[in-house]
Amino acid sequence: MDLLDLAIYVLPPYVVATLAFGVAYRLSRYLFLWKRGYSAPRRARPIGKLLVGLVVTFLDPLVQAAKKRKSDFVGGLIALHILGVIPLIFLLSQHVAMFSYWIPLYSLLKPFAIPSSITSASQYFFANVLPASEMGWVFTNSVWGPLTLILNGDLLAILAIIGVSYKLGDKLVRLYHRLRHVRAGDFFDLALLLSILVTGFLATHHLPSPDVTTYRFMLGLHILLAELLVALLPFTKFWHFVFGYWYGKLHEWYELKFNRGSL
Amino acid sequence: MSWEGYNYEDVRRAAEETTSHLTPVSLHFLENCVSCALCEVNCPYTPVGEEYGPVSKAEPLRNIYRGKVNILPRLFPWLFGAKLPKTKEELDKWVDLAYHCTNCGLCYITCPFGIHSGEMIKTLRGFLAKTGRIPSLLKLMVDAETSGMFAENPGFRGLWEDVIRKTLEVANVEFDRKGAKYLYMPSLAEAMITPGAIPATARILSKLGLNWTMPRNPLSIRAPIGSLAGDDESVRVVAKRIYDYIKSIGAEYVVFSDGGYPYTFFRFDLPRIVGEEPSFKVVHVVELLVDALREGKVKFKQTQERITWHSPCKMGRFGGLIEEPVEVLSSISQNFVKLKSHGLFSKCCGGGGSIACIVPPTQEFMEKVMGIPLKVSENEKAFLDKLYRDMLIAGREKVQEIKESGASTVVTACIGCIHTLGFTTRAYDVKVTLKTLAEVVAEALD
């Protein structure tokens, strides 16, 4: 059994079990710590304003970053999150195919799948022919149309690699300035993310050499590292996009806007 | 324990106590920070140095938390940033960080994850207090307020009596009157910093024709001052004392003119601390004025003076009273102008969270008032001198906004803001008159 077989056929149940345990552990702590307290009557505000306030609560940090820290806005938010990691993880054609295999309902997202390479995207756009495929579903047949020239795995992976590298550089500069909040876990998480992106890119392009053994090793390594990330989700800062972000902003809205009326 | 002391056993015990009261919200604050440091962009103290960004100032509390609560950081503390201060110098550095935060909450709404670093830094102050590290003047005031001894100080007494005399000149007050519908709660700090606000508020309440009273004697220095030092026990004692007084009057409404932390404390925090749903509502005087204006019960003399409003963080961001003061002031001055950062993101004055109350010029003022010389060590003096310089840097952006507004009068409702803006506008040579909302309204009453 090689690395690819191990990653695809052996490890997934263990990864899911670790993830489930971690999620249960993290969430249960919140539940066990909760107890009803006494609170002041809330300040009444119109429901429409409160709903607008809810959206604004999620937008405010983005606006502040765009205004006051452009490097983070471009590198951290646009390159890493919005154009990089999020569409890559959830909409890259290969990932949609894989998730659909495990979770059948995920196949609903097939029309939104993003082609993996610039070549297949440009074929679709310029040649107006569908690439030959024996599969029932053609990767490039997405709703994105000409946008696939930009929305393709190659470009998004490069943007994500730039984004992660920017964050790594930012951490190194902060470490050099002896800022207290920089810690070993930051580097581990970012290095893991970078490794996943680079191995995925190499596997897609059959690099560093085109032989099958190297390809299977690189793809196996890519999947293995991704599985490591999934297993570690609840125990690392990656938990932020599963829980922390949503809970934090909702709580902030509830406390400041719903309860205290600060609109 | 003293400012100079260091005892590892005290530090360890303080860490145990600090991590013994977790809630889902504090757990979120402690665990879900990704160290993106976006909070830095709006913190008034980041211009002093990146080390004073909220994410870095809150990190010591996370250092404590990880080592006490999580399993892996207990086993591998060096890998997870789990540590306690090992030396006096390290503890001093933590004090320096904790007292470079006004808890204004700008970091809270800027954070992509809704993490309130200021609240964590307040908890960190509690940890430091347990190790003996509270600035001497703050400690003196906390102790005096908790014991009730402040009311016996001749200097304090003189200031209070002076304000009472001026209040009686403008309003016919029957003090401590049981059964009054409205209970006005001024503090001794108002008598010290904004003495005009108390008679002005009394005049407003009388003009509105309300059935009101106020305490004959001050119930606190500023209510409860222990919350600024993270001294939970002192907060409980003082809050309970005032709560019992309010209940003894039986008022339906408790009115504040100080829009600093006393207003939000009594409105939002008191129920949790006393463990009861209060039978009264807490309001700021501006809420009464807005209602009266909308109902046509009050009219103001108009002025052409260019005035502006500095929104105190506790009254605006944390109290929900952002546009109400604007409505009142706009009906007084046709030249009312908003500051650049008006609204939820109103920039902090730079001196909240007790900072302006402990810097050397305030200490000199307090020594004169109390008639008690306060001895501080060389180490603490150096810390306070630096804190004063840094406070002026932290307040620079707000002063710049005031200058750009072209206003000749800056109105606010927090005595801490008035006190701080006094320092910062002088330091940057911006000549404006600082007034409380109550004073401006009282002057404009028909």
ipTM attached to this prediction: 0.95
Tokens 């998480």 correspond to A189
Which residue from A minimizes the CA distance to B265?
Answer: A40
What Cα–Cα distance (Å) separates residue B288 from each residue in B222, B256, B283? Answer: 22, 10, 8
For residues A209 and A127, the model is more confident at A209
CA distance B236 to B234: 5
Task: Please answer whether residues A83 and A152 qualify as being in contact, where contact means their C-beta atoms are separated by less than 8 angstroms.
Answer: no
Q: Is A244 close to B34, i.e. CB distance below 8 A?
A: yes
DSSP one-letter string for A218-242: HHHHHHHHHHHHHHHGGGSGGGGGT
Nearest by CB: B115 against A41, A72, A248: A248
Q: What pLDDT is stored for residue B349 in this prediction?
A: 98
Q: Please write the tens of the pLDDT for every residue from A117-158.
A: 777 666 665 666 555 556 555 545 668 877 888 889 999 999
A244–B79 CB contact, under 8 Å = no
Amino acid (1-letter code) at residue B373: P
- Residue pairs spanning A and B at CB distance below 8 A: 149
d(CA A195, CA A189): 10
- Token pair 């302006």 is found at B356
Q: What is the DSSP letter of B266?
A: I
Query: Within B85-186, where are the H helices?
Result: 88-98, 106-110, 117-130, 136-147, 154-170
Q: Report the gap between the CA of B278 and the closest CA in chain A (Å).
A: 8
Question: What tokens were used for A248?
Answer: 């934090």
For residue B411, give the 3-state DSSP assignment.
Answer: strand
The rounded mean pLDDT for chain A is 90
- For residue A259, list chain B residues with Cβ-Cβ distance below 8 A: 268
Instruction: State how far the alpha carbon of B220 is from the alpha carbons of A212, B166, B339, B351, in Å.
Output: 79, 20, 33, 21
Within 8 A by CB and 6+ apart from A127, the residues are none
Whether the CB-CB separation of B103 and B110 falls below 8 Å is answered with: no
Residue A250: closest C-alpha in chain B = B114
Cβ-based contacts of A171 with chain B (< 8 Å): 35
- Tokens 């001749």 belong to which residue? B154
Distance, in Å, from the CA atom of A164 to the CA atom of B80, rounded to the nearest integer, reads 21
The separation between the first and the last C-alpha atoms of chain A, rounded to the nearest angstrom, is 60
Using a CB-CB cut-off of 8 Å, the residues of chain A touching B37 are 174, 179, 181
Q: What is the DSSP string of chain A?
A: --HHHIIIIISHHHHHHHHHHHHHHHHHHHHHH------PPPPP--HHHHHHHHHHHHHHHHHHHHHH-HHIIIIIIIIIIIIIIHHHHHHBHHHHHHHHHHSGGGGGGGGGPBPS-HHHHHIIIII--PPP-SSSS-TT--TTGGGGGTSSHHHHHHHHHHHHHHHHHHHHHHHHTT-TT--HHHHHHHHHHHHHHHHHHHHHTT-S--SHHHHHHHHHHHHHHHHHHHHHGGGSGGGGGTTHHHHHHHHHIIIIIIIT---
Q: How far is CA B306 from the centre of its chain?
A: 27
Lowest mean pLDDT among A98-102, A189-193, A240-244, B435-439: A98-102
State whether residue B19 sits within 8 Å of chain A by CB. Answer: no
Q: What pLDDT does residue B79 have?
A: 86
- Domain locations along chain B: 8-133, 138-297, 325-444
What's the confidence (pLDDT) of residue B244? Answer: 96
Contact B342, B311 (CB under 8 A): yes
Chain A residue nearest residue B110, CA to CA: A61
* Rg of chain B in Å (alpha carbons): 22
Supply the pLDDT for residue B1.
43
For B252-403, list the strands marked E by DSSP.
253-256, 281-284, 307-309, 337-338
Phi/psi at A148 (5° precision): -65, -15
To 10 degrees, the CA torsion angle through A193, A194, A197, A202? -140
Is residue A36 within 8 angstroms of chain B, CB to CB? no
pLDDT of residue B70: 85
Which of B40, B268, B274, B313 best probes binding to A when mutated, by most A CB atoms within 10 angstroms?
B268
User: Is A49 at the interface with chain B, CB within 8 A?
Assistant: no
Q: Average pLDDT in the A80-91 region?
A: 92
> pLDDT tens digits, chain B, 446 residues: what are they?
457 789 999 999 999 999 998 999 999 999 999 999 999 999 999 999 999 999 999 999 999 999 988 888 989 998 888 999 999 999 999 999 999 999 999 999 999 999 999 999 999 999 999 998 999 999 999 999 999 999 899 999 999 999 999 999 999 999 999 999 999 999 999 999 999 999 999 999 999 999 999 999 999 999 899 999 999 999 999 999 999 999 999 999 999 999 999 999 999 999 999 999 999 999 999 999 999 999 999 999 999 999 999 999 999 999 999 999 999 999 999 999 999 999 999 999 999 999 999 999 999 999 999 999 998 999 999 999 999 999 999 999 999 999 999 999 999 999 999 999 999 999 999 999 999 999 999 999 97
Confidence (pLDDT) at A146: 75
| Structural element, H or E, at residue B436 | strand B433-436
Q: With a CB-CB cutoff of 8 Å, which residues 54-113 of chain A face chain B?
A: 57, 60-62, 64-65, 68-69, 72, 76
Q: Does domain B138-297 have CATH number 3.40.50?
A: yes
pLDDT in tens, A216-233: 999 999 999 999 999 999
Closest residue on chain B to A68 (Cα): B41
pLDDT the model gives residue A120: 66
Sign of CA dihedral A187, A170, A174, B394: negative
Six token digits for residue B6: 């260091």
Using a CB-CB cut-off of 8 Å, the residues of chain A touching B276 are 38
CA-based max dimension of chain B: 71
A chain contacts of residue B286, beta-carbon cutoff 8 Å: none
d(CA B394, CA B101): 10
Residue B116 with chain A: CB contacts under 8 Å: 252
| Closest to B85 measured CA to CA, from B28, B15, B155, B141 | B15
Half-sphere exposure of B71 (CA within 13 A, CB side): 2
Instruction: Give CA–CA dist A78/A73, Å, rounded.
Output: 6
Q: State whether A40 and B111 contact (CB < 8 Å).
A: no
Give me the residue from A37, A177, A185 closest to B272, CB to CB: A37
Residue B34 to residue A240, Cβ atoms within 8 A: yes
Residue numbers in A near B322 (CB within 8 A): 262-263
Contact map slice: A 109-168 vs B, CB within 8 A: none
A71 to chain B: closest CA residue: B38
Cα separation, B397 vs A87, in Å, equals 39
Burial label, B178 (beta-carbon count in 10 A; 0-12, 13-18, 19+): exposed
Residue B276 Cα, gap to closest chain A Cα (Å): 6
Look at domain B8-133 and name its CATH class. mainly alpha
Per-residue pLDDT tens over the stretch B351-401: 999 999 999 999 999 999 999 999 899 999 999 999 999 999 999 999 999
Reference B322, options B267, B280, B259; nearest CA is: B259
Q: In sequence order, which residues have a C-beta less than 8 Å from that of residue A91 and are 6 or more positions away?
A: A109, A112, A113, A114
Quick one: residue B396, left, alpha or beta (phi over 0 = left, psi -120 to 50 = alpha)?
A: alpha
| Strand ranges across the sheet with B409-412 | B337-338, B307-309, B409-412, B433-436
Residue A134 pLDDT? 61
pLDDT for B61: 97
Select the residue from B20, B21, B22, B38 to test the A interface by mutation, using most A Cβ atoms within 10 A.
Answer: B38
Q: Is B65 on the interface with A (CB under 8 A)?
A: no
Contacts of A256 in chain B (CB under 8 A): 108-109, 317-318, 320, 344
Residues of B with Cβ-Cβ distance to A37 under 8 angstroms: 271-272
Note the pLDDT of residue B353.
96
- More confident of the two residues A122 and A177: A177
Nearest CA in chain A to B53: A179
| Those residues with Cβ within 8 angstroms of residue B311's Cβ, 6 or more apart along the chain or in another chain | B317, B322, B325, B339, B342, B343, B346, B412
Q: Which residues pair with B184 in a beta bridge?
A: B255
- Contacts B319 to A, Cβ<8 Å: 260, 262
